[in-house]
Amino acid sequence: MKKVLIFTHDEINEKEEPVWKQTKLIGDWIRIFDCQKDTNIVKQAFDVVKNKIPDDNDIKLGSIVMTPNGPFRLLKVEDNIATIRHINTDKVLTTNKTDISLTFNIIVRLIGQVNSWFKITLNSNGGVEELKKKIEELRIINSDKLDYIIIHNGGILRDGLFFDQLNFKPNTRILLRTIDKKPHTIRRFTSCKKNSYYSGDNIIFNVNKRIKLTGVGLYGTSTGRAVMSHVKFMEGSLDSSSKVIIDEDYDIPPGESINNCITNFKFYSPISLNPLQDYTIALNLRPGDPDADDVYIGEGGQDMVEGDLGIVFTFKKGKNSGVTNVTRGAFPEFYYIQ
């Protein structure tokens, strides 16, 4: 039995038409708007639940539904006429129930191939995770060699976004851009050693050509336990005016040995770097973490390091950095694609 909330006329905004037959699902609750105080209100409310709410196999009120005009939220259905509200504009319309659906189609194209359009049917309440799963089921990408990004209206779609947030329309066309799953690596140091606690470390760098940075190497500890850290990546130097691109906590796994102590801190999605633009990567190990006292650091670094594809990284000491500078410290590796 579904629970019912009953609202009397006095509890409703007077600007809205308080019609008791107007209903809306709120999770497992059904809200009933009542226009008058009436001794029979409970009976009327349950009549609404019985007669007006669609069956479990039908479209639920409050659901996001697809229409020929894009995503809407379903407010009510009466005599096969659906009242719907646009997700972004809040404009309310009516349409035939047959014009709404819980599923819609997305056409995806793999960049670099000719006539490579693929049709995917998705649930309108789904998110980008569902879209990725459907793409993987098509087996159009060799997962052993290639990864991909999803481009919609010129922007990269991120996990956690739902289709109503993106204003998809039926048969929306989007692009997949394949990326090399094995990025190129540059190594800053020739050796490493154990070191005492460091904090506030950062390094400034730039590149000579346009690339996408996919991650950065971080040293672990020699204690066999992870260490808490906070990583920032930004344009320019470490100050309040810098544009921050990454700002998140990260538990660095322990190093297995002095020769195997680097972890790839992989970015959520590759970051485009412009030629000769300065960027800063910063790392704070958490104060009070006892494992931060035995973290490996690198030595024998150079101010310029050339990698594959003719990419040259140029390093400068960061602003107010701790033990990290051009020749020693944190951030032993940088991973990139072009």
pLDDT tens digits, 164-221: 778 777 788 888 877 766 789 999 999 988 876 566 789 999 999 999 898 999 988 8
- Topology (CATH) of 104-180: Ubiquitin-like (UB roll) (3.10.20)
Cβ neighbours around 61 below 10 Å, total: 22
Q: How many residues does the chain have?
A: 338
CA angle 14, 80, 48 (to 5 degrees): 50
Q: How confident is the model at residue 337 (pLDDT cuts 50, 70, 90)?
A: confident
The pLDDT of residue 11 is 40
Q: Is the pLDDT of residue 114 over 60?
A: no
- Residue 86 to residues 83, 105, 273, Cα–Cα distance (Å): 10, 19, 38
The pLDDT of residue 199 is 66
Give percent of the chain with pLDDT exceeding 70. Answer: 75
More confident residue, 244 or 138: 244
What does the block give as tokens for 161?
């976004």
CB 167 within 8 A of CB 124: no
Average model confidence (pLDDT) across the chain = 77
More confident residue, 296 or 312: 312
The pLDDT of residue 275 is 94
Q: Is 324 strand, coil or helix?
A: coil
CATH tag, 184-337:
2.60.120.820
Q: Is the pLDDT of residue 305 over 90?
A: yes
Query: DSSP characters for 16-63?
Result: S---TT-EEEETTEEEEE-SS--TTHHHHHHHHHHHHSPPTTSPPTT-
Q: Is the pLDDT of residue 147 over 60?
A: yes
Residue from 163, 114, 111 nearest 141 by CA: 111
Provide the residue ranges of all domains of the chain, joining segments of one domain with +: 3-99, 104-180, 184-337
Lowest average pLDDT, out of 44-53, 261-270, 316-325, goes to 44-53
Q: Classify residue 291 as exposed, middle or buried by CB count within 10 Å of its CB (0-12, 13-18, 19+).
A: buried
pTM: 0.52
